[in-house]
Amino acid sequence: MIRTFSESEFLFIVASARWTLLLTVLALLLGGALGFVVALVRTSRLAPLRMLAAGWIGMIQGIPVLMLLFLSYYGLSLAGVDMPPIVAASVSMALYASAYLGEIWRGSIQSVAWQQWEASAALAMSRAQQYRYVILPQAVRIAVAPTVGFVVQLVKNTSIVSIIGVVELARAGNLVNNATFAPFKVFGTVAATYFVICWPISLLARRLEGRLHARRPG
Amino acid sequence: MPVVQVEAVRKSFGAVEVLKGIDLTVERGEVIAIIGRSGSGKSTLLRCINGLEVIQAGRIEVSGHRLDASGKGLRELRKDVGIVFQSYNLFPHLRVGENIMLAPRVVLRVGRAEARQRAEEALAEVGLGERFEAWPDNLSGGQQQRVAIARSLAMKPKVMLFDEVTSALDPELTGEVLATMERLAGHGMTMLLVTHEMAFARRVATQTVFMHQGKVWELGPSEQLFGAPQTPELRQFLGSGLK
């Protein structure tokens, strides 16, 4: 039986955006924490550690997110670990985010002038103190705009987890479309919902970028 | 006991040996100017004294802290050695006062009130007492450099190193920074400065070192060294448009 695309279908799609948002937030929190460690290790003084972090970034960036998803969902369940789809989805999105955020933040740390390292070292600061009081506060300003930009990518890329059955925004659209055969309305609604989430974030990124550049000439 | 003792120090960058066995002693209250051509190793020597460059051979001792090729005891030594760079290197995300208070607070662990007092004293010493709340970017180059000097002073170092601190400044700003340094010298600070300001070296430095090809080529009381250079290299250096 074919249903019509009515208010309840519309609301079902829009409401499923909460899973998209939840996934984004989880991926950001977990991936951000891991990515921060990756960035620190990537800028370590010890070459083997740097290579380890570079290897991690290279590996995750070189694998489609889809494969991370399949590995953490099907792979682990074959190995006897039964993981609910939402957990597998969060884990793989977090791994994906960790590599990209790690790389963005590595670049931000390294774009702080090297003289700042020298000046703080000459004041007898330890490596940890240099990071905490001198380098990271400056790196954060540099990192804000590209990080917010990445969040937009992250929101849209969560659609990939629909493949393992998480009913987030994209999957909800699919389900409703199968029942209504009204693809234009359905996916129009889906796209509009993504847009409503992403557009303000993009605006924020642009504003932050403009403001930080204006504040600190040269 | 000398404040700084440098013995047979050697330093190479790759295959190029920049310091070829340097001996130098700085007594308390002395002001020593290091002059020489670009590439003579004078800045490298200064940077070795607080461990920004690691030496390959020899020995450096600053107020009882010993520095050798192992790099141990570096932080303890740096607490006693202030350095000011050509490019100021203030922390742009901190106000002037915070720039100065940071290291005393986190490195020496002095309380907030004492750190603030140290910062105010140091700023007064460089003549910028009223700029505590300013942002570094809003200061002139000469003022930034004086804040950098104050930042080092607040650590109460036993010796101050100055690495071509006026080379990026125009003559007027150079004058204000040199006046600050002269005042410090007058207050008894032990100072070691790499400089191209020959008149300043001659007037303020108790001793001057002429470095040439990675060695201490000539050393003596400034008046004597500038007035009666002994080696043809120094005569040529002083004669080449620097008078």
Q: At what angle do helices A183-215 and A136-157 cross, to 10 degrees?
A: 170
Q: At what angle do helices B96-106 and B141-153 cross, to 10 degrees?
A: 20
Report how many Cβ contacts below 8 Å link chain A to chain B.
55
Share of residues in chain A with pLDDT > 70 (%): 95
pLDDT tens digits along A145-178: 899 999 999 999 999 999 988 999 999 999 999 9
Least confident stretch, A7-16, A162-171, B61-70, B133-142: B61-70
A1-31: burial string, b at 16+ Cβ within 10 Å, e else = eeeebeeebeeebbebbebbebbbebbbebb
ipTM: 0.92
Is the model's pLDDT at B71 over the cut of 70?
A: no
CATH 1.10.3720.10 fits domain A7-215: yes
Query: Do B151 and B122 touch, CB atoms closer than 8 A?
Result: yes
Is the model's pLDDT at B182 over the cut of 80?
A: yes
Query: Residue B194: which of B9, B24, B20 has the closest Cα?
Result: B24
Is the model's pLDDT at A217 over the cut of 50?
A: no
Least confident stretch, A55-64, A100-109, A204-213, B175-184: A204-213
Q: List, as one string, the DSSP characters of A21-72.
A: HHHHHHHHHHHHHHHHHHHHHHT-S-HHHHHHHHHHHHHHHHS-HHHHHHII
The SS3 assignment for B136 reads: helix
Contacts of B102 in chain A (CB under 8 A): 123, 133-134
What does the pLDDT average to over B142-148? 96
- Residue B28 falls in which region: left (phi positive, over 0), alpha (psi -120 to 50) or beta: beta
Residues of chain B with CATH 3.40.50.300: 1-80+159-243
For chain A, what is the mean pLDDT? 91
For residue A113, give the chain B residue with the closest CA: B89
Contacts of B93 in chain A (CB under 8 A): 137-138, 141
- B74-to-A169, B42, B104, B181 alpha-carbon distances in Å: 57, 21, 17, 26
User: CA B94 to CA B117: how far, in whole Å?
Assistant: 17
CB atoms B107 and A123 under 8 Å? yes
Contacts of A120 in chain B (CB under 8 A): 91, 103
Backbone angles phi, psi at B23, to 5 degrees: -120, 135
What pLDDT does A218 receive?
A: 38
B25 has which bridge partners?
B5
CB atoms B75 and A126 under 8 Å? yes
CATH superfamily label, B1-80+159-243: P-loop containing nucleotide triphosphate hydrolases (3.40.50.300)
In B96-135, the residues whose Cβ lies within 8 Å of chain A are 102-103, 106-107
Is the model's pLDDT at B162 over the cut of 90?
A: yes
What ranges do the domains of chain A cover?
A: 7-215
CB atoms B78 and A115 under 8 Å? no
Count CA within 13 A, CB hemisphere, residue A122. Answer: 33
**Following CA atoms A20, A25, A27, A29 in sequence, which dihedral angle do they give, to the nearest 10 degrees?**
-170
What pLDDT does B158 receive?
A: 95
What pLDDT does B68 receive?
A: 64
